[in-house]
Structure 1
């Protein structure tokens, strides 16, 4: 085994919230922390990024002054063990724009765009984590091999601590939950 093949020591040790908070933006870019362990994500495809941006732009325009929609930043689900997720799109309270870390109570909706290699994580693991953290809405975007993307919406059932199925859309998303929004994803 060559020196280039040996993973750095920090990849074998749990990271605490205090350690992570001391990292620079460059050090924390492109990773998530699950149960204190660093998960490195590959760069997303252009299609994936475009879907996320189109959704973020539409959600931001429709959300009104109380909410912002952005892509690619950490949402701190738990401090111990540290769990930071980086949803593809996050709708969060506008008055929390300068609050770090972003916590579940700041978040209204998270969107994950499923890519090859993230299927189980986006369909099962993140769904469970976001629900247990109390995020009211979760949308999952499936990239169809042919045709328009499929969007599955979910609404939190707080008593059960899990999501229940919401609306389903093929290509054009037109919904009133969590606020009225319409976006055509079929042109991707």
Structure 2
């Protein structure tokens, strides 16, 4: 039995934005599109639930602090511009509240993306995704490092629009007390 006979045929060729738009929400769950190719992005297991807890705590704090202008959620696609198609599923997305019914979510809807680094996503979260988010014009990027048995460290980045690249912002260990993109406080030291 070959890999081709196990995986659906569409996983072996680039897809277009139009094709992806025709898929149901259920078909899009748990995948990302990278350079037009479907990449399975499995959910964390209960054993690795710290990742999900960090994302949920950050999303809840960012959502509460965002007021009526900004929503923060987990686990949905952000459609990045370009051909081939790139559609990422950040751990946390802060987006304009007035775009809640617009699909797909586009970079101009998004203020901040947060990625919680896990062993299976280190290179992607530290290098590939920040470059793609910056190129798409997303103003802020946060990367959360979570070494076993240690307090999470949150690296914040601000977009340098002229360079289409992020420059380092504040660094938080445990207690996040950020002023940008808007004031928010969340204590991650208890995880």
1:37-68 per-position Cα deviation (integer Å, ceiling 9, x unaligned): 00001222311111000000000001111110
Instruction: For structure 1, list consecutive stretches of 5 or more residues without a partner in the other structure.
Output: none
Is 1:131–2:148 an aligned residue pair?
no
SS in 2 for 1:132: helix
Looking at structure 2, the residues matched to 3 and 103 of structure 1 have their Cα atoms a distance apart, in angstroms, of 33
1:70 matched to which residue of 2?
A: 73
SS in 2 for 1:72: coil
The answer to whether the Cα contact below 8 Å between 1:17 and 1:79 also exists between their aligned partners in 2 is no
- How far off is 1:79 after superposition? 4.9
- How far off is 1:146 after superposition? 1.9
Looking at structure 1, the residues matched to 4 and 136 of structure 2 have their Cα atoms a distance apart, in angstroms, of 38
Stretches (4+) displaced over 4 A: 2-5
1:145-175 per-position Cα deviation (integer Å, ceiling 9, x unaligned): 2221110000000001100000111111001
Pick one of 153, 157, 163 that aligns with 1:154: 157
- How far off is 1:4 after superposition? 9.1
Looking at structure 2, the residues matched to 74 and 10 of structure 1 have their Cα atoms a distance apart, in angstroms, of 19
- How far off is 1:22 after superposition? 0.8
The answer to whether the Cα contact below 8 Å between 1:16 and 1:79 also exists between their aligned partners in 2 is no
Looking at structure 1, the residues matched to 137 and 14 of structure 2 have their Cα atoms a distance apart, in angstroms, of 24
Looking at structure 1, the residues matched to 96 and 3 of structure 2 have their Cα atoms a distance apart, in angstroms, of 45
Looking at structure 1, the residues matched to 169 and 82 of structure 2 have their Cα atoms a distance apart, in angstroms, of 30
The answer to whether the Cα contact below 8 Å between 1:92 and 1:108 also exists between their aligned partners in 2 is yes
Looking at structure 1, the residues matched to 2 and 147 of structure 2 have their Cα atoms a distance apart, in angstroms, of 40
1:177 matched to which residue of 2?
A: 180
Looking at structure 2, the residues matched to 97 and 105 of structure 1 have their Cα atoms a distance apart, in angstroms, of 13
- Aligned residues, how many? 188
TM-align CA RMSD: 1.4
